[in-house]
A = this chain, B = another copy of it.
Amino acid sequence: MPVNLKTLTIDSISPIKGISLGTAKAHIKKPNRKDLLLVTIAEGSKVAGVFTQNAFCAAPVILCKEHLKNASGIRALIINTGCANAGTGEEGILKAKETCQAVSEILSINSEQVLPFSTGVILESLPIDKIKSGLPDTVKNLDSAHWIDAAEAIMTTDIAPKAASRKIKIQDREIFISGISKGSGMIHPNMATMLSFIATDASINQILLDKLLKEVTQQSFNCITVDGDTSTNDSFILIATGQAGHHEISQEDKDYKALKDAIGEVAIELAQAIVRDGEGATKFITIQVESGLDDAECRKVGFAIAHSPLIKTAFFASDPNLGRILAAIGYAGIESLDISKIQLYLGSILVAEKGGRAATYSEDQGKGVMKHPEISMRILLNRGHAKATIWTCDLSYDYVKINADYRS
């Protein structure tokens, strides 16, 4: 079961003026399962996106990038599960285009105003006929309150739907932010097998929206890992409908900061939800790396720990075999690392310093921290002022089971 993942109630996710969501069961891979999501976006909205850095990126990702560059204004998102339309060559591009064309016809917009997304098995052909057949149902189902339905419709190996919401005030107006995400394996920064869509009714110009999206991504979805695999289909889309009625944010003032902070909170909650629902996860692990020379080296150390199957299995077993953490710090590839300066804390317990076990540390203390489902560790490099936080989960029998059985 997911680790301390909040149960969603319809009231907990606010509608966003200008956004409607409709789902359908299109039988893409399995019968009787919501697997198609249409999101419509009011005219005049601003949309920004970041995508996987995988060279083998999926056909819909290629198309999304083109449409974001060219379009007169994005008006719809179409998302299917069950097939990633990745590793599908030229035919994959044609099918992604056909999907956008079908959406544009049913909504009377241009096909370049549609962003397509797919998630599921790689190297299989997109069942375009099923998607087309499912489309009318998504349109009938469109509703501004359907956020949780939408979160359910984009799940693959996810156990639970993921959504988050915040409310802030800008220029005395109430501003709402709501978002959904999916993903639980093939999760790695830059980015994960993850899709996330966040919308706000705030008003902000395109340049600042793009900037805000990149800043938020670096502090949220680029800080998580489940298994170190970067997917072909990762996409994070941020929509600002501008319907809250305040003056457009056009500089990096306090309004920009307030909006960025709130969107950042939603993004972090959605990113953490992916780890909490990480395949087979039984522990949620926060790795704080502090006093490094720069952000990059703190992230390197954090990810070396977060990617180590040895450390992840030890956490699964609640076994304080903490030397494995030192080993991971040691092979993280940090230039001129002085191991005698490093301090390792598990929770509030000092475990290691001066290149060895702390005199005050006892294994019972370690066990006491490790038995909890939420575990944090701090690594102090003691050589600078940078810091980074990485979130991951443990590696359990169920991770193997889920990934060995995924397609069967």
Copy total for this chain: 2
Q: Is the CB of B54 within 8 A of A89?
A: no
Residues of B within 8 A of A397 (CB): 397, 400-401
What is the CA–CA distance of A125 and B323 in the complex, to the nearest angstrom? 12
A310's nearest neighbour on chain B, judged by CB, is: B229
What is the CA–CA distance of A331 and B407 in the complex, to the nearest angstrom? 22
Interface residues in A110-140 (C-beta closer than 8 Å to B): 121-125
Residues of B within 8 A of A307 (CB): 228
Q: Is the CB of B327 within 8 A of A86?
A: yes
What is the CA–CA distance of A309 and B339 in the complex, to the nearest angstrom? 29
Residues of B within 8 A of A231 (CB): 327
Interface flags, A312-352, vs B, CB<8A=1, else 0 = 01101101011110111111001001011000000000001
Q: Does A101 contact B (CB under 8 A)?
A: no
Q: Is the CB of A331 within 8 A of B404?
A: no
**Residue of B57, B186, B228, B334 touching A55 (CB-CB under 8 A):** B334
Q: Is the CB of B404 within 8 A of A400?
A: no
Interface flags, A41-56, vs B, CB<8A=1, else 0 = 0000000000001111
Nearest CB on B from A315, distance (A): 9
A53's nearest neighbour on chain B, judged by CB, is: B331
Q: Does A227 contact B (CB under 8 A)?
A: yes
Q: Is the CB of A87 within 8 A of B309?
A: no
What is the CA–CA distance of A334 and B53 in the complex, to the nearest angstrom? 11
A308's nearest neighbour on chain B, judged by CB, is: B229
Nearest CB on B from A399, distance (A): 7
Interface residues in A72-104 (C-beta closer than 8 Å to B): 84, 86-92
Q: Is the CB of B313 within 8 A of A86?
A: no
A401's nearest neighbour on chain B, judged by CB, is: B397
Q: Is the CB of B323 within 8 A of A86?
A: yes
Residues of B within 8 A of A408 (CB): 317, 319
Residue with the highest number of chain B CB atoms closer than 10 Å, among A190, A396, A404, A407: A404
Nearest CB on B from A285, distance (A): 15
Q: Is the CB of B309 within 8 A of A232?
A: no
Q: Does A395 contact B (CB under 8 A)?
A: yes
Q: Does A384 contact B (CB under 8 A)?
A: no
**Residue of B310, B317, B340 touching A227 (CB-CB under 8 A):** B310
Q: Does A241 contact B (CB under 8 A)?
A: no
| With A327-B54, A355-B90 as contacts: A407 and B319 at CB distance below 8 Å | yes
Nearest CB on B from A306, distance (A): 12
What is the CA–CA distance of A274 and B292 in the complex, to the nearest angstrom? 36
Interface residues in A162-189 (C-beta closer than 8 Å to B): 185-186, 188
| With A55-B330, A356-B89, A400-B395 as contacts: A122 and B228 at CB distance below 8 Å | no
A406's nearest neighbour on chain B, judged by CB, is: B321
What is the CA–CA distance of A339 and B329 in the complex, to the nearest angstrom? 34
**Residue of B55, B308, B324, B400 touching A339 (CB-CB under 8 A):** B55
Q: Does A12 contact B (CB under 8 A)?
A: no
Residues of B within 8 A of A57 (CB): 330
**Residue of B310, B323, B357 touching A185 (CB-CB under 8 A):** B310
Residues of B within 8 A of A396 (CB): 400
The 12 listed contacts between A and B (C-beta, < 8 Å) are A55-B339, A56-B339, A56-B355, A87-B327, A87-B352, A123-B326, A188-B331, A228-B307, A229-B308, A232-B323, A319-B406, A319-B408
Known: A56-B339, A57-B330. 12 other contacts (CB 8 A): A56-B355, A87-B323, A89-B357, A91-B356, A123-B352, A123-B357, A186-B310, A186-B324, A228-B307, A228-B308, A230-B330, A310-B403
Q: Measuring CB to CB, which residues of chain A are less than 8 angstroms from any residue of chain B?
A: 53-57, 84, 86-92, 121-125, 185-186, 188, 190, 227-232, 307-310, 313-314, 316-317, 319, 321-324, 326-331, 334, 337, 339-340, 352, 354-357, 395-397, 399-401, 403-408
Of all A-B residue pairs in the complex, the 3 with the closest CB atoms, nearest first, are: A122-B323, A56-B330, A89-B356
